[in-house]
Amino acid sequence: MENVLKLKNINLYKIKNASFTDIMFRANELISGHTAITTAMPAVTAQFNALVEKLNKTLVAEKGSVQTQRMQEFDAVRDDAHRGLHLYVKANTYHPDNSISDAAKEVIRVIERFGVGELRRASYADESALLMRLMEELSSSEIADAKSKLGEINNWTSALDVAMSDFEEVMNERFAENENSLGYTTFDVRKEIIPVFKNMMQAIETFAMLNTDPAYGAFLTEINARIDYLNL
């Protein structure tokens, strides 16, 4: 993959907490692996690392937390809805009516492109991102005709949509639970970390354009790939 010299334009103030923290954690992980970046910008990278650790504290639920248990329960409901959708469409690939079986084969290719068992085993953030992308694909006009031949599919996609929303609501409640015990909120840390992240990215872009070290372009390429993966 060819390295790029600029970070993709995303509104960090508006994206969901799960996607925001994913980008910040990934950036921090990549920075720690590129000594050229930490050597060139020791103060700002250290500040960024400290803020990422502070952000992480707002997300880590206490062992035995009610919200942690609820997240596991709602994630299981989300998994079951996704499993049911997949099994319903898969069953229709064996339908004796060729028009229905062909339609099901077209839809199953979309579903399986995002993974089946591996999707449900992914981290909460990754599963949320993959499911959002899947739902966008399933609402595409390109497969509308195929979906129209599968009578119950809208019931399954609606169930999955509700399960996804319920899970996100419980996740936000878990954030609030942690915030109450810390004395600061995820939103507070986001306001702190965004300007630091932006300043750091501007410096990295400058170094990348000057071609002082391939690590800068590699970093930007990997972060942009993560932004694409999260569908931001």
Residue with tokens 């071609």: 211
Question: 134 φ, ψ to 5°?
Answer: -60, -45
Residue with tokens 């391939």: 214
Separation CA 17–CA 172 (nearest Å): 8
Q: Which amino acid is at 161?
A: D
Count of CA atoms in the C-beta half-sphere (13 A) of 80: 10
pTM given for the model: 0.63
Domain parsing of the chain, residue ranges = 17-62+180-229, 66-172
Each residue of 12-70: pLDDT tens digit? 988 888 788 889 999 999 998 888 888 888 999 999 999 999 888 877 654 456 677 88
Each residue of 89-144: pLDDT tens digit? 999 999 999 999 999 999 999 999 988 888 888 878 788 888 988 999 999 999 99
| Residues 6+ positions from 141 with CB-CB distance below 8 Å | none
Separation CA 47–CA 195 (nearest Å): 11
| Residues 6+ positions from 95 with CB-CB distance below 8 Å | 101, 104
